Amino acid sequence: MIRAFRLALAQLGDPRIRAVLVKSVLLTLALFAAAAALIGWALAGANPCGWGPLDQDCTIGGGASVLIALALGAASLWLLFPALAIGVLGLFSDEVVEAVEARHYPAAAAAARRPGTAEGLALGLRSAGRLLLWNAMALPFYVLLLVTGIGPFLLFFAINAVALGRDLGEMVAVRRHRGAELERWLAANRVRRAALGLVVTFLFTIPFANLLAPVVGAAMATHLFREEGR
C-alpha cells in the first residue's frame, strides 16, 4: 500500500495524469457549486429569518430551525463531495489506469480491454449513487454518534473506506474481468480494497488534497491490482 501510494504521487507530474486532474477537478467543482447553490436555495425557502442577521421578528424557535438547517446543509455538502468526485472519475478513470500501466506495466497494458464511454459513465454513476445511498442510510447514526464527539468521523471513515475501495477496485478490474469473474475478484480482495478506500477517504478530509484523492486512488488501485497479478 505504501509503495502504491508513493508511485501514485510520483506520477502526478505525468502529462496524461495532469490532463485528467484538470478535467476532473474542474467538472467536480462545477457540479459541487451547482449542488451547493441548490441546497442553499432549498434552505433559504424554509428560512423564517432570511440569510442576514436575525431581526426582531425572528423567534428563538425560528432561529434554532435556521441553525439546524444550516448544519444539515453543511453536513450534506461534506458527504456530497466524495460522491461527486468519484462519480466524475468514472468518466476519466480509464485514462489514469492506462497512464499508470503504460509507465509501469507495459506488457499488461497491451492486453487490457478498454471500457467505453457509456461503461465508464455507468461505473461513475454507480459509484456516486452507492456513496450517497450508504451515507444517507447512515445519517441517523451520524446524529446519534454526535454525543461521542469522534463517532461520526469514525463512521464516515468506515462507510467510505468500504465504498471507495469497491469503486476504485472495480474501475481497474473491469479492464480484465467481467460479470461473475469480476464479482469473485471483488469478494477475494475485500481487505485490500478497504485499506485502499481508507487511504483515499483520509485524503478527502484534507483541503486541496481532496481534489487529488480520486486520481491518486485510481493510480493506487492500478498498482495494487498489477502487484496482485504478479
Given a cut of 60, whether residue 211 has pLDDT beyond it is yes
* Predicted pLDDT of residue 83: 87
pLDDT of the residue at 55: 44
pLDDT at 32: 83
Between 13-27, 140-154, 175-189, the lowest mean confidence (pLDDT) is in 175-189
Average pLDDT estimate for 177-204: 82
Q: How confident is the model at residue 54 (pLDDT cuts 50, 70, 90)?
A: very low
Residues in CB range of 86: below 8 A, 6 or more apart: 124, 127, 128, 131, 164, 167, 168, 214
pLDDT digits (tens, 9 = 90+) for 66-103: 555 555 555 566 778 888 888 888 888 888 988 998 88
pLDDT at site 18: 93
**pLDDT digits over 102-113, tens only?**
888 887 665 666
From CA 105, how far away is CA 226, in angstroms rounded? 8
Q: What is the mean pLDDT of residues 2-7?
A: 90
**Residue range 24-40: average pLDDT?**
83
Please state, in angstroms and rounded to a whole number, the distance separating the CA atoms of residues 94 and 210. 20
pTM: 0.81
pLDDT of residue 43: 63
Residue range 128-177, pLDDT digits in tens: 888 889 988 888 888 888 888 888 889 999 999 999 998 888 888 877 76
Q: pLDDT at residue 48 above 80?
A: no
Q: Where are the domains of the chain?
A: 2-31+79-229
Q: Does position 206 have pLDDT exceeding 60, yes or no?
A: yes
Task: Find the DSSP H helices in the chain.
Answer: 2-10, 15-45, 60-104, 106-110, 117-144, 151-173, 179-188, 190-204, 209-229
Kindly tell me if the per-residue pLDDT of 57 is higher than 90.
no
